[in-house]
Copies of this chain bind each other. A is one copy, B any other.
Amino acid sequence: MVPPLPSPRPHPLNPMHHQLRLHGPRRQLPPRRRRISRHGPLPRRDPRLHSSLRRRLRQHRNPLRSMAWVLDPVAVSASEFRMRACLGLLELRPTVIRGNASEILGLAGAQRIQSSKGADSSHESLDAMDAAKSLALKTGAIVAVSGAVDFITDGSRAVGAHNGVPMMQKITATGCTVTALIAAFVAVVPSNAFEAAACALSIFGLAGELGMDMARGPASLRMHMIDSLYSLNEETVISRVRIASL
């Protein structure tokens, strides 16, 4: 059985955003919280910031501010450029931030982690719980941390998504894939991004479990996992998804 999720908080439509021209599903914005004042806004003329990103930041009626979207801060701690770009994107208020423990720790502290090993995590996912909650409170985003145990937090609540198999972490780009799946789920119910992200992480893990029954290694797991994701039915999802409060 799927354990009942904590009931979602109401997200009143923010009147500030009523006049925006929309290019995607309307985002039900949570009440604004404290901005990332600790780091200050991005310098506007920083030459290292990609010009199209800078242009978007300048736009008052920024479409990203009114759409549901997911930020995946890949290897954010690996370079100054990546950190700066991700901090700029945080200003555009992502609906969900999905990263591994190292990425969330790095982004929450706005610090490069010296021992950073490219895009792979060097931390256990639950080590990032405090950082994830703090990042969620600062940015208003749902923060999803994937790892041996996936968890999702909005700053106050936190649930764990317990499906999955260890070999999934041996497949390049599983993180990117689950980010894309979260985006698909959130696009369906942007006002319940917390639940959508938790379901996406669990169902992706479930596809990994089903694929593992047929796999002989990471390459066949990758194939069987995609096949399983395609073939999932409601009964399997309801009986096998495991989401629980942390």
Interface residue ranges, A against B (CB under 8 Å): 170, 215-220, 222-231
When C-beta atoms are compared, the residue in chain B nearest to A221 turns out to be B227
Whether A220 contacts B223 by the Cβ 8 Å rule is: yes
Contacts of A217 in B (CB 8 A): 226-231
Whether B216 contacts A220 by the Cβ 8 Å rule is: no
Minimal beta-carbon separation of A221 from chain B (angstroms) = 9
When C-beta atoms are compared, the residue in chain B nearest to A211 turns out to be B219
Minimal beta-carbon separation of A209 from chain B (angstroms) = 15
Contacts of A216 in B (CB 8 A): 224, 227, 231
17 contacting pairs across A/B (C-beta < 8 A):
A170-B230, A215-B227, A216-B224, A216-B227, A217-B226, A217-B227, A217-B230, A217-B231, A218-B226, A218-B230, A219-B222, A219-B223, A219-B224, A219-B225, A219-B227, A219-B230, A223-B223
A215, A216, A224, most chain B CB atoms within 10 A = A216
The docked-state distance in angstroms from the alpha carbon of A231 to that of B220 is 12
The docked-state distance in angstroms from the alpha carbon of A215 to that of B224 is 10
Whether B218 contacts A227 by the Cβ 8 Å rule is: yes
A217, A224, A229, most chain B CB atoms within 10 A = A217
Contacts of A229 in B (CB 8 A): 217
The docked-state distance in angstroms from the alpha carbon of A168 to that of B222 is 18
The docked-state distance in angstroms from the alpha carbon of A230 to that of B167 is 11
The docked-state distance in angstroms from the alpha carbon of A241 to that of B228 is 31
Minimal beta-carbon separation of A22 from chain B (angstroms) = 15
The docked-state distance in angstroms from the alpha carbon of A195 to that of B231 is 37
